[in-house]
Amino acid sequence: MAQHYFDPDPGAAHRPATVDLVLADLHLRLDTDRGMFSPDRVDLGTRVLLESVPAPPPEGRLLDVGCGYGPIALAMAARAPGARVVGVDVNRRAVDLARHNARRNHLANVEFHLVDAEGTPAGGDAGTAGTPAERALAGPFDAIWSNPPIRIGKPALHALLRTWLGRLAPGGTAHLVVQKNLGADSLQRWLQEEGHPAERAASRAGFRILRVRRP
Ligand SMILES: C[S@@+](CC[C@H](N)C(=O)[O-])C[C@H]1O[C@@H](n2cnc3c(N)ncnc32)[C@H](O)[C@@H]1O
């Protein structure tokens, strides 16, 4: 059966690697593995996002949807040491590595959670009401940064965005990076139709950065 980077339990044989995320203001070393998104280098779209977004609210509650091995959430945590950052993903191997990468880079203001497609805790936290994981995931979030999983298909992507954009705090802002030829403009139109005011904040190297503000 074909393996996808968004499988909950990737069966791919392990191939540990280390990648560097080097930006003007930070340098993180990140361990990766097969069975997750972009394990051989930090994805170009992720770089474009991190080079384009304004600084996160310094003491905010921040979210990375589809965190993979953690580059976006960890960059948020490094840029806003007073903030509390949450990263979520459906891929167990990726979430385990994101937790490891937080320790590796001495970032204590970030936590990673395995979730299901409905945005509720999965794995060890599943089905337990009122857990710290449930509280962490409930938001509301002052900022969301995401390189969302376009390849899961439109219905699943729309459900994911409805769930997590619904947890944006009043006045909060989301920045999403989407490849132009993977439907960035039609996603922007869909967001507007859904009542999420979305604008193009940047466009570079074939990627759009969509900004959604919650009034
Ligand atoms: C394009 S990748 C980005 C990964 C990482 N943020 C990065 O920049 O390298 C999208 C991620 O979304 C995850 N994903 C897929 N469906 C999801 C869902 N319903 N909820 C949360 N994450 C999901 C995938 O497992 C994958 O790690």
pLDDT digits (tens, 9 = 90+) for 124-182: 766 667 888 999 999 999 999 999 999 999 999 999 999 999 999 999 999 999 999 99
**Residue 8 belongs to a domain:** no
Q: Could you tell which of 20, 23, 67, 72 is best to mutate to test the pocket of ligand 1, judged by most ligand atoms within 8 Å of the CB?
A: 67
| Helical ranges in 42-174 per DSSP H | 44-52, 71-79, 92-104, 132-138, 154-165
Q: Which atom of ligand 1 is nearest to the CA of 159?
A: 19
| Cα 89 from chain centroid (whole Å) | 8
Taking only the tens place, the pLDDT of each residue in 5-48 is: 777 777 788 999 999 999 999 999 999 999 999 999 999 999 99
**Residue 4 belongs to a domain:** no
CATH number assigned to the domain comprising residue 115 = 3.40.50.150
CB 77 within 8 A of CB 84: no
- What do you get for the CA distance between the two ends of the chain, in Å? 44
Residue 89 Cα to ligand 1 midpoint, Å, equals 6
Provide the 3-class DSSP secondary structure of residue 154: helix
ipTM reported for the complex, 2 dp:
0.99
**Residue 131 belongs to a domain:** yes
Q: What range defines the domain where residue 194 resides?
A: 17-213
Q: How many structural domains compose the chain? A: 1
**Residue 12 belongs to a domain:** no
Per-residue pLDDT at 91 exceeds 70: yes
pLDDT at 73: 98
**Residue 3 belongs to a domain:** no
* Long-range CB pairs of 190-195, under 8 A, 24+ apart, other chains included: 190/158, 191/161, 191/165, 194/158, 194/161, 194/162
**Residue 163 belongs to a domain:** yes
Q: Whose CA is nearest to atom 12 of ligand 1?
A: 66
**Residue 185 belongs to a domain:** yes
**Residue 50 belongs to a domain:** yes
Q: Which pair of structure tokens corresponds to residue 196?
A: 């999420």
pLDDT at 6: 77
| AA identity, residue 9 | D
What is the distance between the alpha carbons of residues 88 and 26, in angstroms, rounded to a whole number?
Answer: 22
- Exposed / middle / buried, residue 129 (Cβ in 10 Å: 0-12, 13-18, 19+): exposed
